[in-house]
Amino acid sequence: MFAATFLRLLSVSFLAVTYVLAAQNSLQQVTNFGSNPTNVGMYLYRPNGLAANPALIVAIHYCTGTAQAYFSGTQYANLADSLKSFIVIYPNAPDSGGCWDVHTSATLTHNAGGDSLGIASMIRYAISNYGVDPARVFVTGTSSGAMMTNVLAGAYPDLFAAGSAWAGVPYSCFSGPGMWNSACATGQLTKTAQQWGDLVRNGYPGYTGPRPKMQLWHGTQDETLNYNNHLEGIKQWTNVFGYSSTPVSTQSNSPLSGWTRNTYGPNFQAISAPTTHNIPVQANEVLTWFGLIGGTPGTSSTTVPPTTTQTSTTVAPTTTRGPTQVQYGQCGGIGWTGPNVCASPFTCRVINDWYHQCL
């Protein structure tokens, strides 16, 4: 009963934030893409005018979500249309509840099976069949999808250049006999940094190559996956990268007012937001971390004083386009064709050239 309630909360909280999807094309289902023991669905988005040797983003949905829901509920397809430099794969979970297998030993181990192997096969297929640049493969996801992001970064480090996990838990935190792990979800599962790091290293025994850069995002008021999971994730990835547990830089109000970005080294960032589990995904920030737009956020060697605030500019559109946009929704930016006026009392503010947001 409690597990069912948890899984319901894990999913419905993300229904509050919706976006206007103006993607040029629809999703394309791909079958027979390789080893797929749990029957994970593969859905592909390719923009018109795609550049040669594109990058690839794997965007993974939350519990009870679908590939289509994450396609419609995030901005990755619209940004792909604007940039023409990457394609997006939206995996679809085979579980009847729409959650990902992030708990079995198979999924947690390189090429051993589980949902993670199905997703790895999609990536290998895309590299072979769509000309994807193997050095520019990235993964991101929300909630259960964030858990899978951590799983893939641990079990398949050879496939990814970077990951960005939104409101998830550390690699192997949900390990156990069932889809749900109450000790992890409620923040009661704690380990040393070495123990967490060893779990990641054991995901691909004998692997000595580079690890994907990692970026963790979490709401300090998360009522579904306790904020302690963020702190345990910091232990894990600082150990994997050999970084100190003390940030080398801290940026307040980054990327939004009240949010705090801690950078521990060039390959790891952790961002806390004053939100519940329903943390609004900042797709432009994810692409910046992946190196697909702009620089790399928060990697300045100079510590930003806590009083420093990132400035934003209110957009004053000369013409109103489309219906009003909701809070946290996109309202402008290069290539944006959706609504450019926010519902009251929110205003459209410039975050960067590519992304304006209702705040």
Answer yes or no: 254 catalytic: no
Q: How many CA atoms lie within 13 A of 74 on its CB side?
A: 35
Q: How far apart are CA 124 and CA 111, in angstroms?
A: 12
DSSP string, 287-312: HHHTTSSSS-TT--SSPPPTT-----
β-bridge mates for residue 28, sequence order: 44
Contact 180, 225 (CB under 8 A): no
Of the listed 85, 116, 143, 272, which one is catalytic? 143
Beta strands in 187-248 (DSSP E): 213-219
Alpha helix (H) residue ranges in 25-165: 67-73, 76-83, 114-129, 144-155
For residue 27, the Cα-to-chain-centroid distance in whole angstroms is 19
Residue with tokens 């009003």: 324
Active site residues per annotation: 143
